[in-house]
Amino acid sequence: MAKLIRIFGIVTVIALVLLVVVDRLDASQGGGGGSNTLTVFNWGDYIDEELITKFEEETGIRVIYETFDSNEAMLTKIEQGGTTYDIAVPSEYTIDKMIEDDLLIELDHSQLPNMEYLNPDFMDLSFDPGNAYSIPYFWGTVGIVYNREMVGRELTSWDDLWADDLRNDILLVDGAREIMGMGLNSLGYSLNTKEESELLEAQEKLQTLSPNIKAIVGDEIKMLIGNGEAALGVVWSGEAAEIMYENEDLDYVVPEEGSNLWFDNMVIPKTADNVEGAHQFINFMLDPENAAQNAEYVGYSTPSEAGYELLPPEVAEDERFYPPEEVTERLEVYENLGPEWLGRYNELFLEFKMNLR
């Protein structure tokens, strides 16, 4: 009997030791979230992974990195609340909606001293006055990337896409705001219009473009244009920069009628488990050297004034991606249209896609 008691005691001690070890391993590897892990929710191909490693080494915080392919997909997951995201990177009109729906934590600017390096032109914008809830990550434009050899001429206008010799040669990004906005801008209308007649006119004009449209696609647009499988595409500026890096025959233009000036900002959702770590991550990405490295890797434009000064001259002086004021004054920022009008844009875009021939 005494032997059995001793054996039971030994087994109990071993079990307790194992429980402690498993608990510590779980904490160190993010099994339960908290201060040792940070879950970042970002667009695909939108960060230099070396910076994630650098952040982990500097802070001891392990980063769990997940991606999304649209603001709507990101918003749905955060609204559902199934995952405790500590950082997300939505666009301006989505930030406005997230603030409205009480989905974000107000930032503690005292934990973000590297904010001083940001360009004031990208701060205190209408979708987040005072940057109470969001901090700039990247910015850019929507425009046309095209193969000069295949097209055989310079493009300057949205209307250039309707040329007869571009049949089955155009790729479009799969975004309602971007493509409906293209149609609206080509008619001289605001890409934030709430006039039904203007939206219908834009959709009708887009339908006449369908013989020239090869496909409406996602990330594969970069490979298809880079490989010469299509002459041109309507894309975000950073994607254009990435494609152009691989193919010197490509060029990028913001059409003269106007287009979208967009901003992607870092936010802390209310689902966050590691608010302190989230502030550390934001401040880390605002460091000028890190901001410059990230901009060079990703290809989008940095909002960091000090980071911009560290970029190679051939990048910093490229007006296609750091456009002058005479270009930016023709651009519009997407507004939060509200669920009714956003739904209408999505509905008209879906009808357009379904009617492609």
Strands (E), 241-306: 250-253, 259-267
The answer to whether position 6 is within a domain reads no
pLDDT, position 11:
44
Place of tokens 């603001």: 71
Both 204 and 229 in a single domain?
yes
| CA dist., res. 31 & res. 192, Å (int) | 43
- For residue 242, name the pLDDT band (cuts at 50, 70, 90): confident
Both 251 and 278 in a single domain?
no
The answer to whether residue 93 scores a pLDDT higher than 80 is yes
Mean pLDDT of the chain: 90
- For residue 26, name the pLDDT band (cuts at 50, 70, 90): very low
Single-letter amino acid code for the residue at 26: D
Place of tokens 């500590």: 86
pLDDT tens-place string over residues 328-353? 999 999 988 988 998 999 999 999 99
Strands (E), the chain: 37-43, 62-68, 87-88, 134-147, 170-173, 213-217, 232-236, 250-253, 259-267, 331-332
Looking at 5-19, 30-44, 125-139, 169-183, which range is the least confident one?
5-19
pLDDT, position 83:
85
Both 349 and 222 in a single domain?
yes
What is the domain extent for residue 232? Answer: 140-261+324-354
List of residues 6+ apart from 193 with CB closer than 8 A: 184, 199
Other CB atoms within 10 A of residue 149 CB: 12
pLDDT, position 246:
83
The answer to whether residue 138 scores a pLDDT higher than 70 is yes
The answer to whether position 1 is within a domain reads no
Both 157 and 303 in a single domain?
no
pLDDT, position 5:
42
Question: pLDDT: is 175 or 159 the higher one?
Answer: 159
Looking at 47-51, 136-140, 245-249, which range is the least confident one?
245-249
How many Å is the Cα radius of gyration of the chain?
A: 24
List of residues 6+ apart from 216 with CB closer than 8 A: 171, 172, 173, 174, 179, 353, 356
Q: 279, 114 in Cβ contact below 8 A?
A: no
The answer to whether position 5 is within a domain reads no
Both 132 and 246 in a single domain?
no
Both 39 and 83 in a single domain?
yes
Both 129 and 146 in a single domain?
no
Global pTM?
0.83
CATH number at residue 308: 3.40.190.10
Helix/strand/coil for 201: helix
* Token pair belonging to 1: 């009997």
The answer to whether residue 20 scores a pLDDT higher than 90 is no
The answer to whether residue 219 scores a pLDDT higher than 50 is yes
Tell me how far the alpha carbon of residue 196 is from its chain's centroid: 28
Both 293 and 343 in a single domain?
no
pLDDT tens-place string over residues 273-313? 999 999 999 999 999 999 999 999 998 999 999 999 999 99
pLDDT, position 355:
87
- For residue 16, name the pLDDT band (cuts at 50, 70, 90): very low
If you average pLDDT over residues 46-62, what whole number do you get?
97
N- to C-terminal Cα separation, the chain: 85
| CA dist., res. 90 & res. 65, Å (int) | 15
**Which string of DSSP letters, residue by residue, matches 314-352?**
HHHT-TTTS--HHHHTTEEPPP--HHHHHHHHHHHHHHH
The answer to whether position 3 is within a domain reads no
pLDDT tens-place string over residues 163-186? 999 999 999 999 899 999 999 999
Both 276 and 218 in a single domain?
no
The answer to whether position 2 is within a domain reads no
Strands (E), 111-268: 134-147, 170-173, 213-217, 232-236, 250-253, 259-267
The answer to whether position 4 is within a domain reads no
If you average pLDDT over residues 43-70, what whole number do you get?
95
DSSP annotation of 86 reads S
The answer to whether residue 1 scores a pLDDT higher than 50 is no
* Count of domains for the chain: 2
